[in-house]
Amino acid sequence: MQTIYYGGPIITMEGVNDRPEAVLVDGDKIGKVGTLREVMDAAGSRVKKVNLAGRCLMPGFIDAHGHISMNGQMSLCADLSECTSFDEIIQVMKAYISENKIGEKGAVIGFGYDHNFLKEQSHPGKAVLDQVSSEIPILILHISGHLGCVNSRLLEIAGITADTPDPQGGKIGRVDNTLEPDGYLEEAAMLQVQSSITQKIKPDLRKLLRGMQQIYIENGVTTAQDGAANGLSMKLLKLANSLGTLKIDVVAYPLMSDGGREILKKNKSLDGIYKKHLKIGGYKILLDGSPQGRSAWMSQPYLGDDPDYCGYPWLTDEDAYGYALQAVNDNKQLLAHCNGDAASEQFLQVYKKALENSDNPDKDHLRPVMIHCQTVRNDQLDRMKELNMIASIFVGHVYYWADIHMKNFGEERGRRVSPVKDALDRGLVVNFHQDSPVTKPKMLHSVWCAVNRISREGNVIGEEQRIDVYDALKAVTINAAYEYAEEDTKGSLKEGKRADLVILDRSPLEVNPLELKDISVLETIKDGKIIYKK
């Protein structure tokens, strides 16, 4: 099957001034790029012709970091993202329980509340959630995925009492001046309750598998990531892949602290090689938490009542080094979650040490990735360059939480969240992600954020970190492909590359930069086949 696209702006991502008239798709590959005459001459007699009629054709978007399996799981949960008060959370949770006929033998999970935007400006712990039910176990997850709250019943099932100590890399909220748990949990403290509650939930697999990827497809994403895969998520991905319901490519990164090496050993056929639409790209580690949740690990204190509070690490230096050395010795790419600059420092130090102590002859070609980079400093960006480390930046923070970061960190640190320009100026490979389901995988919203630096409250924050539109587009196409060592097959419209395309209603290079987030995805094309049409 051959198709010629012509009649509208074509952005190849092969150069800012590369503007061909037409593209030939030949099966699942790009057959020809050039003038309409050249493309017509290269096509067969039965070629299909698609007149873009002024619409824009460009490479499909590539998700540089997200959690596609979690996206599916959260699509089945009560949606708390629009709640603005405890009362609204109670109402939504009660309605969800009623609509889904959940009884005492079941359990319920809600997702997406953000304490920063609740009227009460705090977390709805057990005193709130017990008003929903005192018999049904309840867990609600913060929008960051790093924090959450449970009711008394779930605390009981999970065995969390006044005698339960805070785990390494986590915190159990306590009732004022006592050790009694108040239902609020941070980071590693979430693991025990998540394990307890998932055993009581029987998900609708059909809905889960559809919810897992549909929002990516509708936003023009043709390659996504499962950025902290565990045994369950790998089973889901493999099931979707074997059933043929997985329509886009997925790169999984098993979490080293959750059996990551064992997962890789059990799935050697997926190690670096796509089997249909799924492969394993390397390993993932978590080094800290959420800056908007004040659990990110900072070198200097947060602003607030406690003048010494800097957040905290997930891993000891010894454990972090052990994982880094394992990854390098295994010849695997390592992704590290680093929001706070202290976490960034830990990653830089342990990774450099791992390189120094490894005999792997290919150790300098592994393309390690610092995920999020919210408060990474310029001296750290310099060292990232020395280590050939990729900066994968969650630039949407500028819109969603930069106003909160200004309050948490003050003017100097707050305005530098997501320091894209500083990273590019140092020659780093920079890409963007949305950390879905934390935020929706709207690539053009990330482009808009990087170009305009406008917050949710309408403030321009860190104007000096603005970049141009073309560099922002590179961050969601060819630079994201580089992270997966797929820059030779994806990320631009070039002869021989895979025909992963997106059709937009307008060209991002021709609109007012303030309109970038309003551009619509009209079609998503994977390997030459239309998988979404608006």
Contact 147, 125 (CB under 8 A): no
Alpha helices per DSSP H over 63-204? 68-74, 86-99, 126-129, 152-158, 190-198
Q: What is the pLDDT of residue 448?
A: 98
Q: If the chain, 534 residues long, is cut into consecutive pieces of 10 residues, what is the mean pLDDT of each piece?
A: 97 96 98 98 96 98 96 91 97 96 92 96 96 96 94 95 94 95 95 85 84 95 97 94 96 97 97 98 97 96 95 97 98 98 98 98 97 98 98 98 96 97 98 96 98 97 98 98 98 98 98 98 98 96
pTM (predicted TM-score): 0.94
| Gyration radius of the chain over CA positions | 23
Q: What is the pLDDT of residue 513?
A: 98
**What burial class does residue 300 get, using C-beta atoms within 10 Å of its C-beta: 0-12 exposed, 13-18 middle, 19+ buried?**
middle
Distances (CA, A) of 366 to 355, 517, 526: 10, 33, 27
The SS3 call for residue 383 is helix
- Tell me phi and psi for residue 360, to 5 degrees: -65, 120
Task: Report CA 477 to chain centroid distance, whole Å.
Answer: 15
Q: What is the pLDDT of residue 200?
A: 82
CATH T-level assignment (fold) for domain 77-198: Diaminopimelate Epimerase; Chain A, domain 1 (3.10.310)
CATH 3.20.20.140 fits 287-467, yes or no: yes
Q: What is the pLDDT of residue 321?
A: 98
Compute the C-alpha angle 282/288/292, nearest 5°. 120
**Distance in angstroms (rounded) separating the CA atoms of residues 159 and 288:** 25
Q: What is the pLDDT of residue 287?
A: 98
68 DSSP 8-state letter: H
Contact 222, 248 (CB under 8 A): yes
Q: What does the H/E/C string look like for 444-502?
A: HHHHHHHHHCECCCCCECCHHHCCCHHHHHHCCCHHHHHHCCCCCCCCCCCCCCECCEE
**Distance in angstroms (rounded) separating the CA atoms of residues 191 and 199:** 13
| Domain residue ranges of the chain, discontinuous segments joined by + | 77-198, 287-467
**Distance in angstroms (rounded) separating the CA atoms of residues 335 and 273:** 18
Q: What is the pLDDT of residue 195?
A: 82
